[in-house]
Amino acid sequence: LYHMLTGRAPFQAANLASTLKHVIEQEPVAPRELNPSVDRDLEIICLKCLDKQPPRRYATAEMLADDLRRYLDNEPIQARPIRRWERIWRWSQRNPVTAGAITSALTFLLIALAAATVGYVETSASLAVAKQAQEESEQSFREMRRAVDRFFTQAREHELLDQPGMQPLRQALLEEAVQYYQKFLTQRAADPAFRDELALAHFRVGRINELIATSDEALQAYERARALQEQLVAEEPENRERSAALGDTLNRIGRVRHGQQDFDGASSAYHKALALRQRLAANNAEHNEYQRRSANTHMNIGLLERDRGNLTDARRELETAHAIRSRLSESGYRDAELGQDIAMGHFNLATVA
């Protein structure tokens, strides 16, 4: 059944021993992750067949057939999905060392977050008492936001959360992070002193929504960030941090619209991002990161033109991106992201050769 739904076996490895190890230690990838068109109830039935606990599997082939008949007749199925935290618990029992490392890292972050939260609440109570209390409250708020930023980065990028079966934990952590950001936005929406932080919070919500929600929800958050950032840049055109932040937001808007097949909207956002990034690179030659990001936007435009069928324009943009990256590498600039960008650039150039 799994193979019929996904086109592959539930466990794949180089040899029999490795395959058996996967069967024992790993959960199968959910069919909908490999084939989004698979119906949710059908996925539940399939995963019940593969449950590692015999009592949770179908006791007989006839019971499986009965549930499949219910599905085909649009009746409620008997199978029930494994709850997210139950799946995480099972994984932690099979992988105690990895689970312990993740727990330690996240516990540290949660302690920092809790400490910042307590400080924020305590100083907020004194806000009306004195100017010093207000300043302390604002500082506590910023510390709390930075703690959440670190929490978000760990949840999104920690390599241990890329382990098979850890997707539910990653999603739960990201959902927790987005709740904190939404709380920030509610508390400080009318405070002009926090406009930069508010814009960043909207941007972070957009990044999280790209991972766990819909592209429309991500776009909505990015557009809110963009509106604030455009005001901030208009007030201080020479502020590098504000221009860079707006460039990042426009670049993400372009990527989301590209994914939605809104090629005109994507092109507009990409070219605005490119203009900002090129200006930053030209005015701050000592900051190689601005040049690297400019190259990335050239690459994004190239991929957009490729998908539009404009291969000549696509090749030109991709070659421009490669030239910028090559100059950075030859100048001695060493950065892990630059190496990844160069590798991806070679791959993308091959698609328009």
Superfamily of domain 2-82 in the CATH hierarchy: Transferase(Phosphotransferase) domain 1 (1.10.510.10)
pLDDT tens sequence across 55-75: 888 888 888 888 888 888 777
pLDDT at site 130: 47
The 10 Å CB-count burial string (b at 16+, else e) for 192-209 is eebbebbbbbbbbbbbbb
Contact 193, 217 (CB under 8 A): no
Confirm if 338 and 325 have CB atoms less than 8 A apart.
yes
Higher pLDDT, residue 157 or 288: 288
Is 44 within 8 Å of 77 (Cβ atoms)?
Answer: yes
Torsion, Cα 215 336 277 250, to 10 degrees, reads 10
* Gyration radius (Cα) of the chain, Å: 24
Q: Are 293 and 252 in contact (CB under 8 A)?
A: no
pLDDT score of 352 more than 80: yes
pLDDT band at 18 (very low <50, low <70, confident <90, very high): confident
Taking only the tens place, the pLDDT of each residue in 228-278 is 999 999 999 999 999 999 999 999 999 999 999 999 999 999 999 999 999
Lookup result for tokens 């996240």? 106
Cα separation of 247 and 199, whole Å?
Answer: 13
User: For the chain, first and last CA: distance in Å?
Assistant: 40
Instruction: Give the tens place of pLDDT for each residue, 275-298.
Output: 999 999 999 988 999 999 999 999
Task: Output the six-digit token pair for 54.
Answer: 């015999």
Query: For all residues of the chain together, what is the average pLDDT?
Result: 80
The answer to whether residue 143 scores a pLDDT higher than 70 is no
The token duo for 183 is 């709380």
What kind and span of H or E run contains 110? helix 96-124
Q: Tell me the three state secondary structure of residue 1.
A: coil
Query: Mind listing the pLDDT tens digit for each residue in 74-100?
Result: 778 887 755 554 555 555 655 665 566
Structure tokens at 23: 């069967």
Higher-scoring residue by pLDDT: 348, 12: 348
How far apart CA 136 and CA 126 sit, in angstroms, is 9
On whether the pTM is more than 0.85, the answer is no
Q: What angle do CA 141, 280, 244 make, to 5 degrees?
A: 25
- Is the confidence at residue 34, as pLDDT, over 70? yes
One-letter identity of residue 80: R
